[in-house]
Amino acid sequence: MKTRCFLFFVYLPFFLFSQGIKITNGPYIQRMGENEATIIWTTNNDAISWIELAPAGNDSFYAAERPQFYDTSHGNRVIGKLHHVTVKGLSPGTGYRYRIFSKEVLGYEGHRLLFGNIASSEVYRNKPLTFTTLDRDKKAFSFRVVNDIHGKADNLRAMLKDVKKENTDLVFFNGDMISTLNDEKEIFTGFMDTAVELFASEVPVFYTRGNHETRGKASSGLYDYFPGSNGNFYYAFRHGSVFFLVLDSGEDKPDSDIEYSELAQFDNYRDQQKEWIETVVTSPEFQSAPFRIVIMHIPPAGSTWHGTQDVAQKFLPLLNKANINVMLCGHTHNYKYIDRGEEQNIHFPVLINDDETYLDITVNSRIDIRQKDMSGKTLHTHIIDSKN
C-alpha cells in the first residue's frame, strides 16, 4: 500500500508579519489658541489616532473616563502615519493634561478593517503631558525665538535647553530650520526630535517658513507638519498684550532664477499675502492690542536681493501705518538692530537675529528683548515700550 504525502501551502496575510505599532516622532503642539490646540505625532505603521483630554489636576489620569478626540477629515477618521488631532471648545489660559493613542491598521478591505495593537503615551509611571491655552488677559509672559538652525540640532539644544512650560509660553522657529527638505524625516532629524525632547510636547511651537524650507522635493508637504490657524504659512494670533503677525517672506531670488527649476511663484504669493495683511491690520483686534510684533524670516532691509525688495515694496506700506512695535527677522546670519528712523522706509524697529544666537523675550508693561549666545550670555538688550 502506497503512502501518499500531501504538501499544504498555507497563505499567511502580510499583516501577520507586522513589527508592531510605535510612536516614532512627537507629540508636539501646533495651532495653539485660546480655545483650541492641535497635537501632532507620527507612527511607523498606518493607524487611526486619538487623544484623551483631562483638566489640570493632581488626580490620577485614570480617575475618570476621559473624553476622546479623533484624527478626522471631512467626517472620516484618518488612516496614516502622520496624525493630527485638533481639540476645540477649550477655555483661555487653562491647563489640560493629554494622552495620545494610535491603533494600528493591519488590513483594509471595503468597509472592514483589521486592527493591531495600540501605541500610546505613558500616564501610569509618568505624569501625563500638559499644555496651557493662550490668554489675551495674561499680564506677563515669556517666549523664545530661534532662526537659521539649518539642521544643527546641537545648536538648537544649546539655545533651548532650559525652556520649560513654567518659564516659557511659546517658541518661534523663525525660518531656515533646515537647508533643503528632500525627505519629511529631515524635519525630525534636523530639529523637531530635539524640540520634542526638550519642550515641544508641552510648549507650543509657532513656525515661520524661511526661504530654505521652500526647497526640496518634500517642501510641499511642510504645511502638514506645521499647520497655521488660517490654512496658510502666514497667520496671526493674540497672547497676553501682544498681537503677533507671522508673515511668510518666501524666496530671496526672482521666481525665474535657475535654482528654482520653474517651481517658484512667490511674487504672486506675496501679492495675496499683502491683501491679507491689509485686512488684519485694520481689524479691531489688531488695533486694540497694546503691542504688535511682526515675525518674518527675511528682513525688509539690508540687501538688494529680490526677496528683500519685494517684501519691502509690498508689506512695508501697510506695516508702516500699523503702529508695529518691533519686527523680528533672521536670514542674514548676522545680528543687526535697525531702530525706528534709521532706515528711511521703515517706521518701526527691526531686529535681525544671528544664526548662533537666540532671543529671550519677556512681555509685561514693556517688551524686554535679550539676545543671547549658546552659553546663555546676554549680548544685546532692547527695551520697547508702548510708545516705541
Residue 76 CA to residue 79 CA, distance in Å, equals: 9
- Return the CATH number of the domain spanning residue range 21-132: 2.60.40.10
Split at pLDDT 50, 70, 90, the class of 10 is very low
CATH superfamily of 141-384: Metallo-dependent phosphatases (3.60.21.10)
Those residues whose C-beta lies under 8 Å from the C-beta of residue 213, and which sit 6 or more positions away, are 175, 176, 177, 178, 181, 219, 222
Split at pLDDT 50, 70, 90, the class of 67 is very high
In the chain, where the domains are located: 21-132, 141-384
Three-state SS for 305? Answer: coil
What pLDDT score was predicted for residue 1? 44
Residue 12 reports pLDDT greater than 70: no
Kindly report the pTM of this predicted structure.
0.93
The length of the chain in residues reads 388
Q: What counts of helices (H) and strands (E) characterise the chain?
A: 6, 21
Beta bridge partners of 131: 96
Residue 57 reports pLDDT greater than 50: yes
Percent of the chain past pLDDT 70, that is, above it, reads 95
What pLDDT score was predicted for residue 19? 65
Residue 301 CA to residue 316 CA, distance in Å, equals: 10
Residue 220 CA to residue 213 CA, distance in Å, equals: 9
Residue 7 reports pLDDT greater than 60: no
What pLDDT score was predicted for residue 387? 64
Three-state SS for 306? Answer: helix
The 10s digit of each residue's pLDDT in 25-41 is 999 999 999 999 999 99
DSSP 325: -
Q: What is the DSSP string of 193-216?
A: HHHIIIIITTS-EEEE--SGGG-S
Cell representation of residue 214:
521652500
Torsion angle of C-alpha atoms 157, 162, 163, 166, degrees rounded to 10: 160
The 10s digit of each residue's pLDDT in 319-331 is 999 999 999 999 9
